[in-house]
Amino acid sequence: MQTLNVGTVGYGFMGRIHTHSYKSLPMLFEPLPARIRLVGVAVRNPESQRLAVEQGGYEFATADWQELISRDDIDVINCCAPNSVHKDVLIAAIEAGKHIYCDKPLTGRLSQAEEVISAEKRSCLPRTRMMAHNYRFVPALMRARELMDEGRIGRVFTFCFRYIHSSNVDHAKPMPWKTDRTQGGGVLVDLGSHILDLARWLLGDFERVLAHPFTQIRERPDPVTGQMKPVTGDDATCIIAELKNGALGTLEASKLATGANDELTLEVRGDRGAFTFNLMDPNWLNFYDNTPPDAPLGGNKGFLRIESVQRYPAPAVMPGPKLTVGWPRFHIQSIHEFVRRVVAGEPGSPSFSDALAVERIIDTCYERPGAWAEVPV
């Protein structure tokens, strides 16, 4: 069996989740597409370096991510660094001929994302480069994609996608880099990239958008000095969007949603059917079949709750298909798909080009707020 040697840049929250996912593959899949060897991790904080080795199982830790790129015994660069670092890491990894698994977004800045794509196009080596848009790997949403492909929804009329948190409601919360637009932050980048990717994956490309990014809490304390600093990124954004297929919809990303934890909701309504989904109730997809005839007492009309739970296809073997699904499982499935594609010599999906398309939508929203604007191809 082939062994893939992994080097991870960043060992914060997402670095740990990705590490956990690689380590979980042998327990959840039979047969395993490849053995995973966690070779090195690059992170500045000495305590994080210690944890990455002792807790994560990496053979060594370094403060210099370029050391991972330069090593011949590392096949995969797993990028979990802050958005502002993505461009340099990704371009260097592409030029070194590495396979790449990158946490979203591609960079957080359109100009930087375009530089990454240009580097990818210059590369002549067939390598797998894939984005960690983990919500494509929720069983209920995989079933929703099947319903779309089967024509069960028909022509889509309207849609409504929301991803909302309450994580920035506290005025006294120190300003994290994810609220700093100069560092590639903003809620439209952080949460919005997920729903924009899902919209493209399920419904198709965007034609034009009317967006309103806004910042309610305009100053926050600096996490180091405690002094108040202006917030440069949005903490909520609402979008009206027209798709190339004629569908009209709304998208909302917010970290000011008091009472919400991790609420990603989708509604899609077409002439043959509809579906709804809520990440807080992830084991079910609600599907409405609009094709049965009407009857005085309703006939067979009504929403059907499809029990998606953990019904992943083979080679997934654990946990059992009837058991409830949890958030880390989506990341594990996504990384399994990445590893499978590396071994098979296939391009990544979602690809870097998919991520570029999302960043073009985000950039259009930021650059033309309050006005209808066409999304560039």
What is the pairing mode between strands 156-164 and 263-270? antiparallel
What is the model's pLDDT at position 153?
98
More confident residue, 230 or 252: 252
Residue 108 has pLDDT above 90, yes or no: no
**Which has more pLDDT, 124 or 190?**
190
* 71, pLDDT greater than 90: yes
pLDDT of residue 174: 87
Give strand pairing partners of 230. 219
Pair type for strands 206-214 and 156-164: unpaired
**Residue 180 above 90 pLDDT?**
no
Given this model, what pLDDT does residue 124 score? 83
Q: What is the mean pLDDT of the chain?
A: 94
Q: Tokens representing 2?
A: 């082939």
Predicted pLDDT of residue 166: 94
User: What is the structure's pLDDT at 176?
Assistant: 79
- Number of neighbours of residue 370 by Cβ within 10 angstroms: 9
Residue 363 DSSP symbol: H
pLDDT for res 338:
98
pTM above 0.85, yes or no: yes
Range with the poorest average pLDDT among 93-97, 173-177, 369-373:
173-177
The answer on pLDDT for 113 being more than 90 is yes
Average pLDDT over residues 223-247: 93
Place 178 in a pLDDT band, splitting at 50, 70 and 90: confident
- Assess whether pLDDT exceeds 90 at residue 119: yes
Average pLDDT over residues 71-96: 96
Query: How far is residue 185's CA from residue 84's CA, in Å, rounded to a whole number?
Result: 9
Span 315-337, pLDDT tens digits: 998 888 888 999 999 999 999 99
* Segment 303-326 mean pLDDT: 91
Q: What percentage of the chain exceeds 90 in pLDDT?
A: 86
In which band, very low, low, confident or very high, does the pLDDT at 36 lie, cut at 50, 70 and 90?
A: very high
Q: Judge contact between 287 and 147, C-beta under 8 A.
A: yes
